Amino acid sequence: MNIAVAGTGYVGLVSGVCLAQIGHRVTCVDIDPAKVELMRSGKSPIFEESLEQLMAENKERLFFTTDGAQAYRDADVVIIGVGTPEKKDGSANLAYVFQAAKEIAHAIERDCVVVVKSTVPIGTNDKVEALIRAELKHPVWVEVASNPEFLAQGTAVRDTLHANRIVLGVESERAEQVLRRMYQGFEDVPVLVTNRRSAEMIKYASNDFLALKISYINEIANLCELVGADIMDVTLGMGYDERIGNKFLRAGIGYGGSCFPKDTKALHWLSNYLDYELKTVKAAIEVNDQQKLKLLKKARKHYPGFEGLTVAVLGLAFKPGTDDLREAPSLHVVPTLVEDGANVHAWDPVAQERFQDIQDDGVTYFSSPIEALKGADLCMILTEWPEVIALTPEDFKTHMKTAIVLDGRNCYDLKQFMGTGVTYESIGRARME
């Protein structure tokens, strides 16, 4: 099939590349000429495992352009994968989606399905369809379908090629058949067909449930610290129950990224707008805001002020496997440390450069975790990169001035720290000395 994709962020680019991988001819459209040039040269603008390799393997059917009209004109399917950033009031900004829809309406010259892959509030697909039909320049059949994306950053290609489900939110048999044909190459993936509004809701309900699960376990972890229980044992015990499952129960310093924070706020905003208070989601948001500050609170018990202290911060990205900093706990922790007079020694294998653009003053960037630890009065672990997990109590003891380690991601076995002379505090577990 001939497929055009509007937007080359995580959703658009990964979907486009994976659809080329199963044999479609795919043209990816982006308004940024520099980004398009980069992709034409075989480079991915996002850090994502095996993406560049697939771009190279499929280069004869994968095209990149700034010329949307050209790409949309004779496409069988046009996918909208542009961003839906958060507005100041927590609602989703749909300006890019509507802009893309308008361009598509002006360009299409043959029957096609326009697929909304961006995460959009319930009811948006109806609006996109009305807009496209009102703006059409040629008398073609067009229908809008909701086809939410469930990939996670860091595992995006795998999550797409081996998805756990494909959700098709359609309003006609014809649109369903077009999309089934598009996904034919994704073997063994269950396909669920719903109406558009249910598909839109499945995306929000899934992300918000996962966010809720994390906030819940973070609260239980906080309580574990108060009552002397161990969160790792508690989650292990819970996970045996198949109704609960053992995934997404890792306690830490809160969820970040471009999805959970934005999607929880957007659904909460939408429910408020409809005069319904979504209490559980509201609680998940509040708990997460507090959880991001947890290491700072722990640190203040060791040092009432940070003036003149050297603090090693290991990990800046919101999770390993990505250079994305959106809503990362580091964005709260590092500026606070710097404001309070600390010299921050930061390390991250891929997000360092991006972080430096945001925060240069007061931070020295190092090329290895060990270098960052040297002479530190305190270490904070914000991302569970493999290089961090590989550190031993001996590394902290040898290189730090005062070996106090605050681990926001529970990277180590507690027993390792027993009698090592390192003060080790993590989330929901006993303090070790």
- Minimal distance in Å, beta carbon 259 to ligand UGA? 3
Q: If binding is defined by CB under 6 A, does position 214 make contact with ligand UGA?
A: yes
Measured CA to CA in angstroms, residue 350 lies from 130, 324, 402 at distances of 42, 9, 27
103 vs 149, beta carbon nearer ligand UGA:
149
The answer to whether 259 is a known catalytic residue is: yes
150 vs 303, beta carbon nearer ligand UGA:
150
User: How many amino acids of this chain bind ligand UGA (CB under 6 A)?
Assistant: 20
248 vs 303, beta carbon nearer ligand UGA:
248
- Minimal distance in Å, beta carbon 2 to ligand UGA? 26
- Checking 17-22 for CB contacts under 8 A at 24+ apart, the result is 17/51, 17/54, 17/55, 17/58, 17/62, 17/157, 18/54, 18/157, 18/160, 18/161, 19/182, 20/54, 20/58, 20/61, 20/62, 21/54, 21/57, 21/58, 21/161, 21/185, 22/184, 22/185, 22/186
Pairing, β 166-169 against β 25-29:
unpaired
| CA gap 153, 135 in Å, rounded | 35
- Minimal distance in Å, beta carbon 209 to ligand UGA? 10
Q: How many CB atoms lie within 10 A of CB 131?
A: 17
156 vs 372, beta carbon nearer ligand UGA:
156
119 vs 426, beta carbon nearer ligand UGA:
119
- Minimal distance in Å, beta carbon 10 to ligand UGA? 7
| CA gap 194, 168 in Å, rounded | 6
Report the phi/psi class of residue 315: left, alpha or beta, with left for phi > 0 and alpha for psi in -120 to 50. left
28 vs 376, beta carbon nearer ligand UGA:
28
Q: If binding is defined by CB under 6 A, does position 349 make contact with ligand UGA?
A: no
Which residues touch 363 (CB under 8 Å, ≥6 apart)? 334, 338, 344, 345, 346, 355, 356
Q: If binding is defined by CB under 6 A, does position 204 make contact with ligand UGA?
A: no
What string marks each residue from 146 to 165 as x (binds ligand UGA by CB under 6 A) or -? ---xxxxx------------
Question: What residues from 227 to 256 belong to the interface with ligand UGA (CB under 6 A)?
Answer: 248-250, 252, 255-256
- Minimal distance in Å, beta carbon 363 to ligand UGA? 21
| CA gap 226, 200 in Å, rounded | 40
Closest to 253 in 3D by CA, of 90, 426, 67, 69:
426
- Minimal distance in Å, beta carbon 344 to ligand UGA? 20
| CA gap 66, 69 in Å, rounded | 9
Q: If binding is defined by CB under 6 A, does position 321 make contact with ligand UGA?
A: no
Question: What residues from 61 to 120 belong to the interface with ligand UGA (CB under 6 A)?
Answer: 119
Which region among 32-40, 143-151, 194-202, 277-285 touches ligand UGA (by CB under 6 A)? 143-151
- Minimal distance in Å, beta carbon 373 to ligand UGA? 22
Question: What residues from 254 to 283 belong to the interface with ligand UGA (CB under 6 A)?
Answer: 255-257, 259-260
| CA gap 43, 60 in Å, rounded | 15
Which region among 30-38, 130-138, 145-153, 411-419 touches ligand UGA (by CB under 6 A)? 145-153
| CA gap 125, 331 in Å, rounded | 34
9 vs 185, beta carbon nearer ligand UGA:
9
Catalytic residue (choose from 18, 112, 259, 411): 259
The DSSP-derived string for 226-268 is HHT--HHHHHHHHHTSTTT-SSS---SS---SSSHHHHHHHHH
Q: If binding is defined by CB under 6 A, does position 319 make contact with ligand UGA?
A: yes
Question: Could you list the residues that contact ligand UGA (CB under 6 A)?
Answer: 119, 149-153, 207, 210, 214, 248-250, 252, 255-257, 259-260, 318-319
Active site residues: 259
